[in-house]
Amino acid sequence: MGKAVQMAKIRRGIFEIKVYKDLCKACGLCVAWCPQDVLAEDELGFPVTPGLSQCINCKLCERHCPDFAIEIIPPEEEVIDVHALVYARK
């Protein structure tokens, strides 16, 4: 009997963080709310992303920005064979 094929959609890779400097007023709220130390302030107070790989996509930064100046962009969705993925790791 052939194996059952279970397909699933996943997102692999790191999230992209876009700061729209024309909207950002360098208030530091996004940096203060980030629970993962992803964000820090540059010399002018604008957010930068030294800890990008630690982003957990909680969107606290996005939700607390009063100026809609920061956006979290997830990686592309990928369709994968779950069975093949599980057994490839054994």
Q: Is 64 exposed, middle or buried, given 0-12, 13-18 or 19+ CB atoms closer than 10 A?
A: middle
Please choose, out of 3-11, 63-71, 75-83, the segment that lies near ligand SF4 by the rule CB under 6 A: 63-71
Geometric angle at alpha carbon 27, from 61 and 18, rounded to 5°: 45
27 sits near ligand SF4 (criterion: CB under 6 A): yes
Site for ligand SF4 in 30-59 (CB under 6 A): 30, 33-34, 36, 38-39, 47, 55-59
List the one residue from 26, 71, 80, 81 that touches ligand SF4 (CB under 6 A): 26
CA distance 52 to 17: 8
Binding site for ligand SF4 (CB under 6 A): 17, 19, 24-30, 33-34, 36, 38-39, 47, 55-61, 65, 67, 69-70, 72
